Amino acid sequence: MAVHRRPLAPVICLFVSACAGQVTLIPPPTPIAAPIAKDDYKVRSLADVDPAQPLAGAMAGQTLSLFGREDLIARTSSDYKPTACSPIAGAGDAIGTIIERARKTSIVIVNESHERSEHRGFTARVARALRPLGYDVLAMETLSIPALGTPDKFLPPYLKRPDQLYFEDTDGYYLYEAGFGRLGREAKALGYRLLPYEERFSETAATLSLDEGIARRETAQAEQLAAYIAAHPKAKLLIHVGYSHATEVPRADGQRWMATRLKAITGIDPLTVSQTTCRGGGSRERLAVLPAEQRPGTFDVVVDHPTAKFVRGRPAWRVAAGDRVVSIPTALRPAKGWRIVEARPVGESEASVPMDRVAIRPGEDIALLLPPGRYQLKVVDVPMAAKE
């Protein structure tokens, strides 16, 4: 791994708008060779992805998404494949509908695909919309949860430094992805309390069957959330989950996921929002009818996002949301293997989840996507020889 540290070089001003002070990049200095840290398992997971055949690995989809390369998985991932969901005739916009229905409860649960950053951007929009209604807690299963009795010095950064304006890479697995990091930045700026609720590690879990493991995990998640609600009865929670955790009624196979269990424990009927049920139904975001194969009441609201599009290898939804398309300087593009390019606001710790992080290969003209600002670049090389 080669890590580029604080530069001595002048800044690079990109495009006319950037030269007006909107987007400025500060390039890194000459690389300093260093081995990949043993605990840097996310970078190691990218080392396991062959740049020439990036979709060959079993977990390549989630890994490539973490490193900003949804464009490489969109053609083959089921999470991008269009469905045939029917739109709700005369329905209003998704955010407006969620606002109105959120007034009648104190728990809103929004799910995501772990491979689609747009879902995290949508939850950030929901967080903004719900804050004036008194929603003040954002619970995310991705947040690292320490073992009981963990000394303060070993706590995740988001617990040690709750007033910090950004997440750090060690705060949670999916938080490594820049879009998830931005969701955290948005929530912190809005004044949300960040709440972990994942099942704590247990060595006995490895001996359970798949169904037993799901039941144990869903129960643990629901009980931790219910305990917080019992201790803070006036709190209003926005809960961001993956896939089926938002299922509000028992599945046909009898399995009860987190939302079903939380509803039973607390007696609170949550507003459940699915972004994973329907996709690609129209040219713009819309509300869809719950498909007939889903049990009635599985989700309260089904959001159907348009088929994903990409600009210079990056998600077009971020451009529509205000990001600038910024070229990576030619001198920073790799000659071989994967290279990770990161952009952080000037002065921010290198431990932070950057505003953008993307993995690029030789010959690619992949862009950074950044809101206006001044950014320090960092570059990490991930040679295939790093595999163990």
Per-residue pLDDT, 296: 96
Per-residue pLDDT, 57: 73
> pLDDT tens digit string along 328-358?
999 899 999 999 999 999 999 999 999 999 9
Per DSSP bridges, beta strands 23-26 and 12-13 are antiparallel
For range 277-295, the mean pLDDT = 96
Domain boundaries, the chain: 2-78+313-386, 94-142+175-304
Question: Would you say residue 215 has pLDDT above 60?
Answer: yes
Per-residue pLDDT, 203: 58
Instruction: Tell me the pTM.
Output: 0.91
Q: How many residues does the chain have?
A: 388
> pLDDT tens digit string along 221-267?
999 999 999 999 999 999 999 999 999 999 988 899 999 999 999 99
Per-residue pLDDT, 148: 87
Contact 42, 168 (CB under 8 A): no
Give, in degrees to the nearest 5, the angle at Cα 129 between 123 and 132: 135
> In Å, how far are 6, 54, 177, 325 from 46, measured between CA atoms?
24, 9, 13, 24
Q: What percent of the chain has pLDDT over 90?
A: 78
Higher pLDDT, 28 or 229: 229
Take residue 143 and report the two structure tokens written for it. 């947040």
CATH class of residue range 94-142+175-304 = alpha beta
The separation between the first and the last C-alpha atoms of the chain, rounded to the nearest angstrom, is: 14
Beta strands in 193-318, from DSSP E residues, in sequence order: 193-195, 237-242, 271-274, 286-287, 301-304, 310-311, 314-315
Which has the closest alpha carbon to 327: 349, 360, 287?
360
Contact 375, 322 (CB under 8 A): no
> pLDDT tens digit string along 111-161?
999 999 999 999 999 999 999 999 999 999 999 999 888 999 999 999 999
Take residue 130 and report the two structure tokens written for it. 């719900």
Question: Would you say residue 19 has pLDDT above 80?
Answer: no
